Structure 1
Amino acid sequence: MTRRAAGGAGRPATRVLLGVTVLTAVLGALLLPVPAAQAAPATGATAAAPVAITITTLEPRTVTPGSTVVVGMTLTNDGDDTITDLSVRLQRGDRLTTRDELTADAAQPSAGDAAQAPFQPIPSTVLEPGDDAFFQFSTPAADLALTADGVYPVLVNVNGTRAGLVERVGELSTYLTVFAGTTSRTTVSWLWPLTDRPHRDADGTFTDDDLADEVSADGRLDRALAALEGLPDGGRTVPVTLAVDPALVEELTAMSGGYTVDGAPGGGVAAAGEWLSRLRSLAVVHPVVALPYADVDADALQAAGLPGALTRSLPGTVEGTAAQPARGSAPATPSATATATTEPPAPTTSAGEQVLADALDTTPRTDLAWPAGGAVRTDTLATLTAGGVDQLVLGQGGYTDADAAVGRTGRAAAARVPVTTAGGTLTTLVADSALAEVVAGADTAVGGPRVAEQRYLAELGVLTSQLAAVDPAVAQTVLVVPPREVQADPDWTTPMMADTATEPWLAAASLEDLASGPVADAGDLVAPADDARLAGPGMASVAAAVAVRDDVAGAVVGDPGTVLAGYDAAVSRAVSVSWRDDPDGFTASATDLQQTLAALRGEVGLVAPADGAYSLASSDAPLVLTVRNDLPFAVDVTLDLQTRSGVGFEAETVPAQRLDPLTRTVITVPTSVRQSGSFTVVAQLATPAGGPLGTEVQLRVSSTAYGPITLAITIGATALLGLLFLRRLVLFVLRRRRGGPAPVDDDVLVPVDGDAAGPQSTPPTRSPV
């Protein structure tokens, strides 16, 4: 009993002692400092981490065992709580040895458990909600145990106190490239696009002034040039190949000379001229590739059955005539009186090549094509090769097995892939899709563009390290091709390009160098998906417009490709690949094209008389018609006349007529009238192929002349009357000779009055003498 009582009496005291112990431990945890290295687990931060990290500095780009890694970063409190007692450290994961491992790590970043540097406090920093602060720290490479060459995932781990608790408040994953003793090098080539959507309608008139913004300070195209201008040694050690749209250069050339938008002067005259001058300077250093005029959607034209329109946009053939004539230029064809000796000589270059040569003082490459989407149809390829293309730049998706070309098989990467086509062996260059995505997304990358550059280096670093493990002496090539309208910033684009010349394990090369470099087998070519190209009602409008163009081309005197160059340029602008992302813009452009080409038929036609009436004075009087040609070039036309009423009028077939440019011409049509009267005649001019020109004109033709039928009847009646008169005369003479009474002639009418026997004969009597 006593023991039981003692035991029962001791329980409250035990509970009190336990509570005091727990309370003391909690207070101690809150009041005593916590070692930073143990403040937060090494696992990834939760999705609710309130601090965003933006890396501004990460040096060196190539780490060696003796390096000190310097990180500059901006911390932004995106949460609702105040954060204090900030500290930061680097921690790394296991070395990545293949591109597949790098891809997997990017999708699920490493926790950085392999090695961890000590936490470093960020002194005197309190982050209120919405605040940001810059901090730079350094970590010896030895603290991260970076002893072997290769690529390492790295976690930037930021701890802090929030709501009284110490926790990881922010983290950011990136990579370090470590190369100390490798002799392997990866050769990198860049294809840099300089394109934009068309800014002129089918008539060549500027529809907006957006291009002025693009080439002005901090515009997209301004930054695209600035990225190249900042390269070391003026860019001579980094031969970036420029893919330039002749239509863009043509528009800027027109702008630099003065232009209007909606009747008001355009605002980009000075900016356009300055941009062209800068591009001209860059073209002295960097190779230039001429894209098809307006960077047309080649597959769309081919699929619509318009290979001729595609050929007219190509820069590698003299048939590539698409170009917008300058305002006020002279007619592009000789008049009808010109002889063969006065006609201009046949072109020796394409219009697109000439545009770039004139504006940039350079001779661009015209034998390389870069199909949109990275793949190409077989029939499109045939049209391209016939138009002077012997090299293609395609994406990985353009082949059945591109892994070998981009180093995903463990072997060396080789951007050059020969493919067999119906026309023979064709050289293709494979654009690395992963690198293109990194460049395209750098401007919006989590952690900032500097983190995107580290991913770019990591991709190349993995390739270099796996090459060193296989055969350090083997050449390895990679091609980087950003999207056509990449949002580049010199702050990150220039360093990416410069890395190929400044990092010891990389080398820079041009596209021409890659085309003679190592070879990979990427399988067969793969056709793009049908829904990847321009299609639908817009392409139907384009096809209708091209049909008109081709019909009129058959009437042109001289070279139709030359005189219709402006219309061919309009077709190309309507099917620019830039419209793929703007279906409404494509529909409007295609509709405008169809209306403009349809109006071309109305530039030639008959001039209707004031009242639509003609009067013919004789049976073979000609019909005189006036026709007009309001085009700035000569055309051959035919005349069709059809009679809708009456059968007594015929018009002879008139030979094809040649109409001088900007003139009125009289056509004489021989006619034949078989009877007098009024006739309805419908007249229509047409192309030699039968396409209508102008509007149908209805004429009222009147004739008072005797036609052949009327004349025959009149002559027959006159002859009959003459015979009857002659018969009476003969009978009268015979009666006089016989002296007998004159018998009643058959042709004498009998009076109707009198008896039925007729009038009685009365013997003749003599008058009294």
Structure 2
Amino acid sequence: MTRRAAGGAGRPATRTWGWTRAGALLLTALLGALLLPGAQAQAAPAASPAAPVRITITSLEPRTVTPASTVVVTGTLTNDGDDTITDLSVRLQRGDRLATRDELAADAADPSPGDAAQAPFQALTNVVLEPGDPTPFTYTASAADLALTADGVYPVLLNVNGTRAGLVERVGELSTYLPVFSTTTSRTSVAWLWPLTDRPHRDASGAFTDDDLATEVAADGRLDRALTVLEDLPDGGRTVPVTLAVDPALVEELTAMAGGYTVDGAAGQGVAAAGDWLSRLRSLAAVHPVVALPYADVDADALQAAGLPAVLTRSLPGTVEGTAAQPADQGPLPEASATATTTAPAPAPTTSAGERILADALDTTPRTDLAWPAGGAVRTDTLATLTAGGVDQLVLGEGAYSDADAAVGRTGRAAAARVPVDTAGGTLTTLVGDSALAQVVAGADTAAGGPRVAEQRYLAELGVLTSQLAAVDPAVAQTVLVVPPREVESDPDWTTPMLADTASEPWLAAVGLDDLATGPVADAGDLVAPADDARLAGPGMAAVAAAVAVRDDVAGAVVGDPGTVLAGYDAAASRATSAAWRADPDGFAASAADLQQTLSGLRGEVGLVAPADGAYSLASSDAPLVLTVRNDLPFAVDVTLDLQTRSGVGFQAETVPAQRLEPQSRTVVTVPTSVQQSGSFTVVAQLATPAGGPLGTQVQLRVSSTAYGPITLAITIGAAALLGLLFLRRLVLFVLRRRRGEPAPVDDDVLVPVDGDPAGPRPAPPTRSPV
């Protein structure tokens, strides 16, 4: 059996134990009789990889140590092994000062054994730790015990010794950090961007698909805790200007829930919770600045790559073209009426729908000029769409730049979160989110030793930056931006202290995003294109593209502003391409398919009403064909009508100008026709958008006409004239023969007798000769 020795020095060593378990127990007993308790603890070997005692720290004070400080650590020891552990003792031991962020990262990957200085062991008296049992502990050591005399960040090891199965050994250990600052010659300014987003919970029609959002905003839900983190800040948060990144679609959903909603026909359970959450957010928005994200927090790169930049633009909060919003439910649509009239078009909006949603719900004016692309990077063509849509600042991750080390202080120089980027439209301000700090915040709830240890790592990252700045030029300003993941699992018990540290620790300063945008500048190189496999793609985006093609075709038929009229369908397209679906491929596929089905259904809402038997009768050669068309949409549209005959002979319909169909109406359309001959004709009719897209289904009509058309009339007159000529010819020939005394031709003898004798003409009686 090989074990790592750790006692006083904590250095690794190997020992081969060749005796039996009984021999080991005997030797341990003999040594225990010869050694003092303190010496016995120091002689304990290091913890094995499967150390049985799990250490959780609940308090470590002070957060910033000075040479006169007393360090107090409290927490819990839990026996996760199978053996009873006795004679527990605890101490702190530290390693060498960490001078750079790279050294800190290396220590986090391979923690220091803490052999630079050790404080004394302190025994936990009368503690027997049975398997599965926890026990609280408190450990106290002075800065002098740990030889903490110079400013900087130090790795420390919490070492737990104990007796297990008769052997004295290290039964548990936990690594953390202590920032030491005796004087405040340099300060690091820290800004936070706090996300308030969630995946969409509505389908393409605007109906709620589930009631999961009610759970999120209820007590101890993820979004409930996200607000509590801010509410628990000292001084109501006024000393920590956290910027809130809010999705308008989330606020819109919660507003609808607060007014009453249904899920699959049943009343939703989140009415009260939604209203309360919005009220709390409104109060926070009065203290903290708000940034409006694109509607549904769309995946900007996915839309751009699919050739759908207009969908991205319609979701942006910084342009009047950002019209995506789900209309409020105003009850059933009006009944169909042939005399319906179109209401006057609403005046053109002066702000985006996203801005109005947040302004109305939160009673604040949100920022609309800042974008935070999913994944922390952005395509060049996406950047052009964003800037054209009112964006002049971006929040990006370190991976968006070819050389971000300078921006986050890994070069040994001052960190600067502001990075100007040259674009085709000019210089754009970008702000770099610190990835190491974001990872610490995101993983705090699962950090070894508990979230309090994660906070110490957070302080260590900032402490290394501050100490290295002090060594270079204390007068230089230094800025850092912390951007947690969009759906971070936060807890007020540990996240609130992290935020508060920026205002309470003397070597830190709490600032807002505006301060970063006017602060020091770093050269982080060029922007780097994001990985193609990071965005939404595949059949889902193909379905979205097909749906948007239908939307654009119908938009050409809309009477009025298509952006306003089709806002609900544009909102559906944004929800279907939310960046939240990156983590849920099946949910994305279902949402995209629903969008395609819903928008394709728009074509069927307008069409021809076929007669019951599909037959029409025309009484004259120029009688019009009277058709009925329907518009079941809640808005007026302009349509064209196309009629074609199958034979193409004898029936002709004139071109009908574009027809305006009022919302929820039936309209009679008169089609001038020309019939060239009597009979039946097969006519195929189809409505279409002005661009030619089909509306409704083709209707096949059977048109009958008993009227004489020009051709039939000409044939009839010609036949009559010919018959008259033939009769006249016979009459002339008969008269001429009589005058000449010629016998009648055989053909003449078959003329119909005029006396009506059915026997026909009789031969003349014989003539008697005179005597």
Is this a same-fold pair by TM over 0.5?
Answer: yes
1:189-232 C-alpha deviation (Å, 9 max, x unpaired) = 00000000111111111111100000000000000000000111
Inter-partner Cα distance in structure 1 for 2:657 and 2:427: 50
Inter-partner Cα distance in structure 2 for 1:489 and 1:254: 27
Out of 142, 163, 168, the residue aligned to residue 161 of structure 1 is 163
Q: Given that residues 184 and 506 in structure 2 are in contact (C-alpha distance below 8 angstroms), is that contact kept between their aligned partners in structure 1?
A: no
> Structure 1 residues 169 and 703 mapped into 2: Cα distance closer, same or farther (>3 Å)?
same
Inter-partner Cα distance in structure 2 for 1:648 and 1:575: 53
Classify the secondary structure of the residue corresponding to 2:646.
strand
Inter-partner Cα distance in structure 1 for 2:292 and 2:85: 55
> Structure 1 residues 539 and 734 mapped into 2: Cα distance closer, same or farther (>3 Å)?
same
CA shift at 1:32, angstroms?
4.3
Which piece of structure 1 moves more, 50-59 or 721-730? 721-730
Inter-partner Cα distance in structure 2 for 1:397 and 1:336: 57
The residue that corresponds to 1:281 in the other structure is 283
> Structure 1 residues 276 and 748 mapped into 2: Cα distance closer, same or farther (>3 Å)?
farther
Inter-partner Cα distance in structure 2 for 1:747 and 1:78: 131
Letter in 2 for 1:75: L
1:365-389 C-alpha deviation (Å, 9 max, x unpaired) = 0111101111011111111111111
CA shift at 1:622, angstroms?
1.1
The residue that corresponds to 2:106 in the other structure is 104
> Structure 1 residues 473 and 672 mapped into 2: Cα distance closer, same or farther (>3 Å)?
same
CA shift at 1:510, angstroms?
0.9
Q: Given that residues 42 and 113 in structure 1 are in contact (C-alpha distance below 8 angstroms), is that contact kept between their aligned partners in structure 2?
A: no
Letter in 1 for 2:401: Y
Pairs within 5 Å for 1:297-696? 297-328=299-330, 342-645=344-647, 647-696=649-698
Letter in 1 for 2:38: A
CA shift at 1:182, angstroms?
2.9
The residue that corresponds to 1:28 in the other structure is 30
Classify the secondary structure of the residue corresponding to 1:618.
coil
1:513-562 C-alpha deviation (Å, 9 max, x unpaired) = 11111000000001111100011111111111111111100100000110
Inter-partner Cα distance in structure 2 for 1:378 and 1:764: 122
Pairs within 5 Å for 1:179-328? 179-328=181-330
Inter-partner Cα distance in structure 1 for 2:504 and 2:26: 59
CA shift at 1:269, angstroms?
0.3
CA shift at 1:719, angstroms?
2.0
The residue that corresponds to 2:741 in the other structure is 741
Classify the secondary structure of the residue corresponding to 1:678.
strand
Letter in 2 for 1:668: T
Q: Given that residues 342 and 636 in structure 2 are in contact (C-alpha distance below 8 angstroms), is that contact kept between their aligned partners in structure 1?
A: no
Inter-partner Cα distance in structure 1 for 2:340 and 2:46: 81
> Structure 1 residues 138 and 30 mapped into 2: Cα distance closer, same or farther (>3 Å)?
closer
Inter-partner Cα distance in structure 1 for 2:25 and 2:477: 68
CA shift at 1:136, angstroms?
1.2
Inter-partner Cα distance in structure 1 for 2:128 and 2:211: 47
Classify the secondary structure of the residue corresponding to 2:699.
strand
Q: Given that residues 682 and 701 in structure 2 are in contact (C-alpha distance below 8 angstroms), is that contact kept between their aligned partners in structure 1?
A: yes
Inter-partner Cα distance in structure 2 for 1:124 and 1:85: 8
Letter in 2 for 1:221: L
Out of 60, 78, 85, the residue aligned to residue 80 of structure 2 is 78
CA shift at 1:722, angstroms?
3.0
Q: Given that residues 336 and 634 in structure 1 are in contact (C-alpha distance below 8 angstroms), is that contact kept between their aligned partners in structure 2?
A: no
The residue that corresponds to 1:701 in the other structure is 703
CA shift at 1:670, angstroms?
1.2
Which piece of structure 1 moves more, 436-445 or 639-648? 639-648
> Structure 1 residues 645 and 95 mapped into 2: Cα distance closer, same or farther (>3 Å)?
same
CA shift at 1:700, angstroms?
1.1
Which piece of structure 1 moves more, 604-613 or 270-279? 604-613
Inter-partner Cα distance in structure 2 for 1:566 and 1:393: 29
Which piece of structure 1 moves more, 321-330 or 653-662? 321-330
Out of 141, 144, 150, the residue aligned to residue 143 of structure 2 is 141
| Structure 2 unaligned spans of 5+ | 1-23, 752-760
1:470-503 C-alpha deviation (Å, 9 max, x unpaired) = 1101000000000000000000010000000000
The residue that corresponds to 1:176 in the other structure is 178
> Structure 1 residues 623 and 23 mapped into 2: Cα distance closer, same or farther (>3 Å)?
closer
The residue that corresponds to 1:4 in the other structure is none
Q: Given that residues 44 and 161 in structure 2 are in contact (C-alpha distance below 8 angstroms), is that contact kept between their aligned partners in structure 1?
A: no
Q: Given that residues 40 and 168 in structure 1 are in contact (C-alpha distance below 8 angstroms), is that contact kept between their aligned partners in structure 2?
A: no
Q: TM-score, normalised by structure 1?
A: 0.92
Q: Given that residues 97 and 150 in structure 1 are in contact (C-alpha distance below 8 angstroms), is that contact kept between their aligned partners in structure 2?
A: yes
Q: TM-score, normalised by structure 2?
A: 0.92
CA shift at 1:40, angstroms?
4.6
Q: Given that residues 44 and 111 in structure 1 are in contact (C-alpha distance below 8 angstroms), is that contact kept between their aligned partners in structure 2?
A: no
Inter-partner Cα distance in structure 1 for 2:242 and 2:477: 19
CA shift at 1:31, angstroms?
3.3
Q: Given that residues 149 and 182 in structure 1 are in contact (C-alpha distance below 8 angstroms), is that contact kept between their aligned partners in structure 2?
A: no
Letter in 2 for 1:648: G
| Structure 1 unaligned spans of 5+ | 1-21, 752-758
Inter-partner Cα distance in structure 2 for 1:168 and 1:453: 25
Classify the secondary structure of the residue corresponding to 2:30.
helix
Classify the secondary structure of the residue corresponding to 1:189.
strand
Q: Given that residues 622 and 673 in structure 2 are in contact (C-alpha distance below 8 angstroms), is that contact kept between their aligned partners in structure 1?
A: yes
Letter in 2 for 1:414: A
Letter in 1 for 2:201: H
Classify the secondary structure of the residue corresponding to 2:135.
strand
The residue that corresponds to 1:50 in the other structure is 52
Out of 697, 707, 718, the residue aligned to residue 720 of structure 2 is 718
Which piece of structure 1 moves more, 33-42 or 228-237? 33-42
Letter in 2 for 1:515: A
Classify the secondary structure of the residue corresponding to 1:403.
coil
Q: Given that residues 187 and 476 in structure 1 are in contact (C-alpha distance below 8 angstroms), is that contact kept between their aligned partners in structure 2?
A: yes
Q: Given that residues 91 and 117 in structure 1 are in contact (C-alpha distance below 8 angstroms), is that contact kept between their aligned partners in structure 2?
A: yes
Which piece of structure 1 moves more, 707-716 or 533-542? 707-716
> Structure 1 residues 408 and 729 mapped into 2: Cα distance closer, same or farther (>3 Å)?
same
CA shift at 1:741, angstroms?
3.1
1:620-662 C-alpha deviation (Å, 9 max, x unpaired) = 1111111100000000011111212462211111111000000
CA shift at 1:721, angstroms?
2.5
The residue that corresponds to 2:11 in the other structure is none
Letter in 1 for 2:532: D
RMSD: 2.5
> Structure 1 residues 144 and 680 mapped into 2: Cα distance closer, same or farther (>3 Å)?
same
Inter-partner Cα distance in structure 2 for 1:767 and 1:580: 129
Which piece of structure 1 moves more, 426-435 or 637-646? 637-646
Inter-partner Cα distance in structure 2 for 1:177 and 1:208: 47
Q: Given that residues 174 and 454 in structure 1 are in contact (C-alpha distance below 8 angstroms), is that contact kept between their aligned partners in structure 2?
A: yes
Size of the aligned set, in residue pairs, is 735
CA shift at 1:78, angstroms?
0.3
CA shift at 1:83, angstroms?
0.6
> Structure 1 residues 183 and 764 mapped into 2: Cα distance closer, same or farther (>3 Å)?
farther
> Structure 1 residues 25 and 345 mapped into 2: Cα distance closer, same or farther (>3 Å)?
closer
Q: Given that residues 193 and 243 in structure 2 are in contact (C-alpha distance below 8 angstroms), is that contact kept between their aligned partners in structure 1?
A: yes
> Structure 1 residues 130 and 707 mapped into 2: Cα distance closer, same or farther (>3 Å)?
same
CA shift at 1:160, angstroms?
0.7
Inter-partner Cα distance in structure 1 for 2:385 and 2:749: 92
The residue that corresponds to 2:14 in the other structure is none
Q: Given that residues 42 and 111 in structure 1 are in contact (C-alpha distance below 8 angstroms), is that contact kept between their aligned partners in structure 2?
A: no
The residue that corresponds to 1:3 in the other structure is none
